[in-house]
Amino acid sequence: MSETLFATLQQLLGAAHVQTSAQAAHYLTDKQGRYTGHVIAAVHPANTDEVAAVVRACAALSAPIVVQGGNTGLMAGATPDASGRSVLLLLDRMNRVRNVDTDNDTLTVEAGCILQNVQDVARDADRLFPLSLGAEGSCTLGGNLGTNAGGTGVLRYGNTRELTLGLEVVTAEGEIWHGLRGLRKDNTGYDLRDLYIGSEGTLGIITAATLKLFPLPKAQATALLAFDELAQAVAFLSHARAGFGASLTAFELLSADCLALLRDQFPQGPQPFKTANQPWFALIELSDNHGENHAREAFEHVLGEAFEQQLLSDALIAESLAQSDALWLLRENMSEAQKRAGQNMKHDISVPISQVVAFVAHTDALLQQHFPGVRHFTFGHLGDGNLHYNVAHPLDSTVQAHMAHYAQLSALVHDSAHAHGGSISAEHGIGQRKVGLLGRYKSAVELDLMRRIKQALDPNNLLNPGKVLEVQP
Amino acid sequence: MSETLFATLQQLLGAAHVQTSAQAAHYLTDKQGRYTGHVIAAVHPANTDEVAAVVRACAALSAPIVVQGGNTGLMAGATPDASGRSVLLLLDRMNRVRNVDTDNDTLTVEAGCILQNVQDVARDADRLFPLSLGAEGSCTLGGNLGTNAGGTGVLRYGNTRELTLGLEVVTAEGEIWHGLRGLRKDNTGYDLRDLYIGSEGTLGIITAATLKLFPLPKAQATALLAFDELAQAVAFLSHARAGFGASLTAFELLSADCLALLRDQFPQGPQPFKTANQPWFALIELSDNHGENHAREAFEHVLGEAFEQQLLSDALIAESLAQSDALWLLRENMSEAQKRAGQNMKHDISVPISQVVAFVAHTDALLQQHFPGVRHFTFGHLGDGNLHYNVAHPLDSTVQAHMAHYAQLSALVHDSAHAHGGSISAEHGIGQRKVGLLGRYKSAVELDLMRRIKQALDPNNLLNPGKVLEVQP
């Protein structure tokens, strides 16, 4: 069967665009090196018709199809299983910009485009495409859509879902849904678009999207703020939302321990608030459509009010683009700083913003009780209630001993997020890493609804099986 | 069967909350008086458990369930059919505010709440709930969610879909999906929320929602602008988006003929630009989070630039709240002005903003060719590409003769919207009035996907049958 399919795929795409499992080895292990799969073939179709033909060929022989973008996901959602029965679909040749429409403020691009390239195309048209995340230099738009990626711009612009107006999708039957609409309003039936977004390739294969563009800000202002307690940071966020409105485009939390870690791991890097004793910091950004002076005035006005109302303990305002970049570097280096310091347990949780303080206090205390001495490196997108609640080994223990407790410790964190009205995966998705957890946090009613939708759109469970949802054969 | 069900419903809800078809007569005809239905009973459950019990009782006897909010929809989507087999579900007793969370900027309310009351609750909490439309004094949040209502705030804040974080839904089996999450980020599976929103009660019954709140603007500025041609209005819109950013909260188009109609029908009403000879006007609104002076300065700066760049021919800036209200009254009176002038053919279309000029030119010419002398009253939400493209009878003919051509004329308008990449229902939904049109404008692939979802979530076609989608029994 697999030889027949391999030959068919070569006929459809040309031999140069079909690889064996061995040739495709570097696609077959997830970014964090936790899972490795095997495939019948890895294929690189040139266009949507070829994607549809590949799907039909696979469906005819009941071969599962796994689609992969930049392989930057953290949940191994794009890594095939080890059965060797699947075909891996790579859209790297589908990276065309199909349309830029500045009057409509939309951009239509293929799913294989690297996110940074999409940002650049928008900028060249004097527009902003605001999706921004650490992996933007290598992740693809298709992956962003499949996982409904978040990042640092969600506070103002929303997740990938909110940035998308239309989709082109290949169905499990290898048909093409031409849904590339550039409309702000269209109430003509069920919202297929949002069903495909975030479904991690399990309901259909997204091949192109029509995205929203925004005016490029004329100026930005950045500051690192210090808070005496987390509750003060939350209160300041409310104040800043009221004062800045939609101009508040980032609100990234960092604990004092995160700043200390950055100093340790990047001794040549920026060293703000080196001697401060506040426990919490936030990097905030204001985007202004008037200009430098206006941005600065608005910034100083709102920060001034906050000082008066004791919503703020200290502030370091960037005086230049270089200083602003240096402050952002802190946030951007967090992931690497943790990696250098040794493996730790990462949790991508969200709770209502009003529950952040209670969640952190409760969970920190709980972990100290069960795992005395573990170290908390909590940071993330406070403006979205999304914390990267990461936990490192006690200094009197080892990484290895610590990581042995992963399941047990993570269950406490996830239970706590859930108990605070939150989510166990704010922006990273489910993939295969968290698929076993859904039964614990979703009701039977919700899981059943999800299974019915999966069954309706992919009745033979051929699209990225084993991801998002455990499907009984 | 119907007597058994009636008795069961009385037992479940109490006799006072179950009406006969005759008692419920005023719910059974749609707002525009085009359709009248009959039912086994009209029921008024007190809470979600009672809704679920009603659904189970109906499902057990295969009685269809039609849910209705304020009965303000224009597509008769909430009017039962004439078979007398259905049960009408009214959520007027479910109008509680369950939670106001200002730190999280969310509000949880039941589906029977009148939209204006939701706005008021938000304002009392010093927040804005920005959904705003003509029927806000009588439409309900449940109806807004069911139809993904749009209105005048979409340009800045999005449709009802974009304003909703979580839902509580009763399924076709009478189970409850507890999806009232107040999270900005939650990537844990398929997006059930957006599937229910806009499904017009055909996939499930929305009983409550968690909604996004925004800071109340500190000041607003309003102006009526005059343009030499429609293309100039579109170019000005681009300019205004860049200059105002997210502060641009309304951009409502009115043709000169619309202003003349308003003068004729409301001779005591505001009379701006009485002697102007520009063909197009726009009512724009800036919302500012700094204050009056700041709003005025920003407004005058951007309008000044527009004059210099000849993106604007004349401007009337409101100097007081009273003047601002008077300008808004023009837009708000449009519907009534048309009603007073006699019945006309309404079309709620959208196209990409870049296609608005071509759409209007092409469609106007086409109609004059096929129906010489018809009069165009085109207005709407230019900022969303959403036009109410309304067509009145030629002055040398009668309303009656004109309305006899409805199907033929509307087909030309809808075909043209479709050919310009647009939608035949931007914000009013499909209901029963447009259900027969979908086959003409949706691909077989899309209709099949919609049918599969309907089949998955309502396999016995008991939820609002005959609306949105024609389902083969």
Sign of CA dihedral A398, A399, A403, A404: negative
B164-170, strands of its sheet edge to edge: B97-101, B106-110, B205-212, B164-170, B176-179
Nearest CA in chain B to A160: B185
User: Any chain B CB within 8 A of the CB of A393?
Assistant: no
User: Any chain A CB within 8 A of the CB of B296?
Assistant: no
Looking at residue A431, its pLDDT comes to 97
User: Any chain B CB within 8 A of the CB of A297?
Assistant: no
pLDDT 10s digits, B415-466: 999 999 999 999 999 999 999 999 999 999 999 999 999 999 999 999 999 9
Task: Kindly state the tokens that stand for A364.
Answer: 């920190």
| Separation between Cα atoms, residue A70 and residue A115, nearest integer Å | 10
Nearest CA in chain B to A452: B456
pLDDT 10s digits, B209-255: 999 999 999 999 999 999 999 999 999 999 999 999 999 999 999 99
Letter for the amino acid at A293? N
User: Any chain A CB within 8 A of the CB of B195?
Assistant: yes
Q: Which of 8-67 (A) contact B at CB < 8 A?
A: none
| Separation between Cα atoms, residue B237 and residue B235, nearest integer Å | 5
Residue B118 CA, distance from chain mean position: 16
Check: CB of residue A373 under 8 Å from CB of residue A397. Answer: yes
**pLDDT at residue A472 greater than cutoff 80:** no
Nearest CA in chain A to B240: A215
| Separation between Cα atoms, residue A44 and residue A227, nearest integer Å | 50
**pLDDT at residue A68 greater than cutoff 90:** yes
**pLDDT at residue A398 greater than cutoff 90:** yes
Same domain for A172 and A127: yes
**pLDDT at residue A361 greater than cutoff 70:** yes
| Separation between Cα atoms, residue B157 and residue A114, nearest integer Å | 28
Residue A255 CA, distance from chain mean position: 21
Residue A223 lies in a domain: yes
Same domain for B252 and B149: no
| Separation between Cα atoms, residue B136 and residue B118, nearest integer Å | 10
Number of neighbouring beta carbons within 10 Å of residue B97: 16
Please list every residue in chain A whose beta carbon sits closer than 8 Å to the beta carbon of residue B243: 289
Does the distance separating the beta carbons of A298 and B189 come in below 8 Å? no
| Separation between Cα atoms, residue A169 and residue A393, nearest integer Å | 44
Please list every residue in chain A whose beta carbon sits closer than 8 Å to the beta carbon of residue B291: none
Average pLDDT, chain A: 96
| Separation between Cα atoms, residue A398 and residue A46, nearest integer Å | 48
| Separation between Cα atoms, residue A6 and residue A12, nearest integer Å | 10
> Residue A102, class by beta-carbon neighbours within 10 Å (0-12 exposed, 13-18 middle, 19+ buried)?
middle
pLDDT 10s digits, B94-152: 999 999 999 999 999 999 999 999 999 999 999 999 999 999 999 999 999 999 999 98
Closest CA to B175 of B145, B204, B146: B204
User: Any chain B CB within 8 A of the CB of A460?
Assistant: no
CA distances from residue B374 to A305, B145, B359, B412 in whole angstroms, order as listed: 59, 35, 17, 13
Nearest CA in chain B to A184: B384
Tokens 């940002």 correspond to A119
Task: Kindly state the tokens that stand for B347.
Answer: 């079309």
Residue A203 lies in a domain: yes
pTM of the full predicted structure? 0.97
User: Any chain B CB within 8 A of the CB of A385?
Assistant: yes
Residue partners of A330: CB distance under 8 A and separation at least 6: A224, A254, A259, A262, A269, A270, A272, A283
Same domain for A346 and A328: no
| Separation between Cα atoms, residue B71 and residue B135, nearest integer Å | 10
Cβ burial A105-144 (10 Å sphere, 16+ → b, else e): bbbbbbbbbbbebbbebbeebebbbbbbbebbeebbbbbb
Looking at residue B48, its pLDDT comes to 98
Name the region of B264 (left: φ>0; alpha: ψ -120 to 50; beta: rest): alpha
Q: Which of A293, A312, A334 is the last residue of a domain?
A: A334
| Separation between Cα atoms, residue A403 and residue A389, nearest integer Å | 15
Angstroms from B153 CA to nearest CA on chain A? 12
Same domain for B47 and B1: yes
Same domain for A122 and A185: yes
Nearest CA in chain B to A210: B352
Residue A405: give the domain boundaries: 342-427
Residue A444 lies in a domain: no
| Separation between Cα atoms, residue B425 and residue B179, nearest integer Å | 28
Give B151's DSSP letter. Answer: B
CATH of residue B258: 3.30.70.2190
Angstroms from A450 CA to nearest CA on chain B? 6
Please list every residue in chain A whose beta carbon sits closer than 8 Å to the beta carbon of residue B386: 184-185
Check: CB of residue B262 under 8 Å from CB of residue B333. Answer: yes
Check: CB of residue A156 under 8 Å from CB of residue A248. Answer: yes
Angstroms from A308 CA to nearest CA on chain B? 17
CATH of residue A115: 3.30.465.10
Does the distance separating the beta carbons of A449 and B177 come in below 8 Å? yes
Say what percent of chain B tops pLDDT 90.
96
User: Any chain B CB within 8 A of the CB of A128?
Assistant: no
User: Any chain B CB within 8 A of the CB of A100?
Assistant: no
Same domain for A104 and A199: yes
Task: Kindly state the tokens that stand for A150.
Answer: 């978040």
Letter for the amino acid at A326? A
Residue A461 lies in a domain: no
pLDDT 10s digits, A171-230: 999 999 999 999 999 999 999 999 999 999 999 999 999 999 999 999 999 999 999 999
Same domain for A245 and A180: no
A256, containing H or E segment: helix A256-265
Strands B248-255 and B280-288: antiparallel
Q: What are phi and psi of B144, to 5 degrees?
A: -60, -45
Q: Angle at CA B336, nearest 5°, toward B335 and B342? A: 95
**pLDDT at residue B472 greater than cutoff 80:** no
Bridge partners of A376, per DSSP, are: A391
Same domain for A146 and A245: no
| Separation between Cα atoms, residue A253 and residue B405, nearest integer Å | 62
CA distances from residue A280 to A184, A228, A328, A362, A377 in whole angstroms, order as listed: 39, 7, 16, 17, 11
Mean pLDDT of B62-90: 97
User: Any chain A CB within 8 A of the CB of B125?
Assistant: no
Same domain for B170 and B130: yes
Looking at residue A276, its pLDDT comes to 83
Give B25's DSSP letter. Answer: G
| Separation between Cα atoms, residue B350 and residue B169, nearest integer Å | 29
Residue A194 lies in a domain: yes
Tokens 């059930």 correspond to B192
Please list every residue in chain B whose beta carbon sits closer than 8 Å to the beta carbon of residue A199: 190-191
pLDDT 10s digits, B214-226: 999 999 999 999 9
Residue B46 lies in a domain: yes
Confidence of residue A473 (pLDDT cuts 50, 70, 90): low
Same domain for B392 and B320: no
Tokens 């002055």 correspond to B395
Does the distance separating the beta carbons of B246 and A247 come in below 8 Å? yes
Average pLDDT, chain B: 96
Say what percent of chain A tops pLDDT 70.
100
pLDDT 10s digits, A16-41: 999 999 999 999 999 999 999 999 99
**pLDDT at residue B468 greater than cutoff 80:** yes
Q: Which of A166, A193, A215 is the last residue of a domain?
A: A215
Q: Which of B37, B61, B90 is the last residue of a domain?
A: B90
Confidence of residue B414 (pLDDT cuts 50, 70, 90): very high
Same domain for A101 and A145: yes
Angstroms from A267 CA to nearest CA on chain B? 34
Does the distance separating the beta carbons of B187 and A423 come in below 8 Å? yes
CATH of residue A83: 3.30.43.10
Check: CB of residue A31 under 8 Å from CB of residue A430. Answer: no
**pLDDT at residue B471 greater than cutoff 90:** no
User: Any chain B CB within 8 A of the CB of A453?
Assistant: yes
User: Any chain A CB within 8 A of the CB of B146?
Assistant: no
Residue A11 lies in a domain: yes
Total tally of structural domains belonging to chain A: 4
Looking at residue B473, its pLDDT comes to 60
Task: Kindly state the tokens that stand for B323.
Answer: 């003047």
| Separation between Cα atoms, residue A76 and residue A30, nearest integer Å | 5
User: Any chain B CB within 8 A of the CB of A192?
Assistant: yes
Number of neighbouring beta carbons within 10 Å of residue B266: 16
Same domain for A210 and A228: no
User: Any chain B CB within 8 A of the CB of A418?
Assistant: no
Residue B313 lies in a domain: yes
Closest CA to A163 of A129, A140, A193, A139: A129
Tokens 């909430």 correspond to B78
